[in-house]
Amino acid sequence: MGSWRRAEAAVVPPALRLQLGLTAVLAALTVLALGVLYAGDSEPGPVDARIGTAAYDVGSPWRHVALALDFLGEPAGATALVVTLMAGCLLLRRPRAAALVAAGAAAAVVAATLLKSLVGRTIHGGGNLSYPSGHTAFATALALAVALTATGRLGLGRTAGTALMLGAALTAGAAMGWAQVALGAHYPTDALGGWCTALAVVPAAAWLVDRTADRMADRAAGPMADRRTDGTTDRPAGRTAGRKADPSTDRRADRMAGRTAGPTAGTGRREVR
C-alpha cells in the first residue's frame, strides 16, 4: 500500500499525531498523580466536597437524564452502543475506525478496572472501588474514536482536528462524569481520572490498530507484487521462444534470402565472360 493511501486510511491523521501523543502523556501523568493522592482513601477530597454539593442528589427530570446516561455505560447499553458505532463505520467503509471503536472502548474499560484495584479508593463502603470512573472512561473513549474518524474523513487540519477531538472528549466525559457524580456512584475526581484514562489509552489503541492494519496490507500486497513481476517477465520470454521454435518462420526467412542472393550471383557470372 502506498504511503499516501496509508495516511488516508489511518485512524490517527498525520496532522494530529504529535498533539495526540502529548495529550496521552499529560493524561497519563494526571491519572498517576490523582491515583497516588487518593490511594486507599474512602472520603471525598476538598475539590470533591466543593463540586459535589452542587451535583449530588439531583431531582427529576435530571435524575432520569443521569440514569439514561449511566445505562449507556452498563454492559447492555455499552454493547449496543459499540455495535451501532462499529456498524456505522463499516457502512462508511472505515474498517480501521470500527476496530478503533472496539479496541479503544475495551482498552479504556480494562485500564480503569485495573487502576481501581491498584488505587483502592472506595465510596459508600469498602466494596465499592471508585477511582477512576469506568463509565466516564468508556464514554470518552468512544467520543475520541468518533472524533478521530471524523477528522480523517473530513480532512481537517491540525487546529480544527485537535479542537474536534478535545471538544468531543470533553463533552462526552463531562456528561457521563456528571451522571456518575449525580447518582452518587463516583466522586468528581474519579470522573476526572476516568476522562484522563481514556485520553491516555485510546491513542495507544489507535497506533496499534494502524500498525496492525499496515502489516496486514503489506503481507497481502507482497504475493500480488510477486505475481505481477512473474507475469511481466515470463511473457516476453515466451513470445521470443515461440518465434524461434516456429519452423514456418524459418522457412520463410530462407526463401527470402534465396531470392535476394540469386540475381547477384547471375550478374557476377556474366561479368566474368
What per-residue confidence (pLDDT) applies to 110? 98
pTM beyond 0.85, yes or no? no
Asked if pLDDT for residue 135 goes beyond 80, the answer is yes
* Averaged confidence pLDDT in the chain: 83
* Predicted confidence band of residue 268 (pLDDT cuts 50, 70, 90): very low
Q: What is the mean pLDDT of the segment spanning 197-203?
A: 97
* Predicted confidence band of residue 272 (pLDDT cuts 50, 70, 90): very low
* Predicted confidence band of residue 50 (pLDDT cuts 50, 70, 90): confident
Nearest to 16 by CA among 199, 197, 138: 199
Could you give the CA distance from residue 105 to residue 97 in angstroms, rounded to a whole number? 12
Could you give the CA distance from residue 117 to residue 122 in angstroms, rounded to a whole number? 10
What per-residue confidence (pLDDT) applies to 45? 87
- Looking at per-residue confidence, does 157 or 173 come out higher? 173
Asked if pLDDT for residue 7 goes beyond 50, the answer is yes
- Looking at per-residue confidence, does 10 or 38 come out higher? 38
Could you give the CA distance from residue 21 to residue 16 in angstroms, rounded to a whole number? 8
What confidence tens digit (pLDDT) does each residue in 99-127 have? 999 999 999 999 999 999 999 999 988 78
What confidence tens digit (pLDDT) does each residue in 220-253 have? 776 655 555 555 545 544 444 444 455 555 555 5
Could you give the CA distance from residue 55 to residue 187 in angstroms, rounded to a whole number? 10
Could you give the CA distance from residue 130 to residue 42 in angstroms, rounded to a whole number? 9
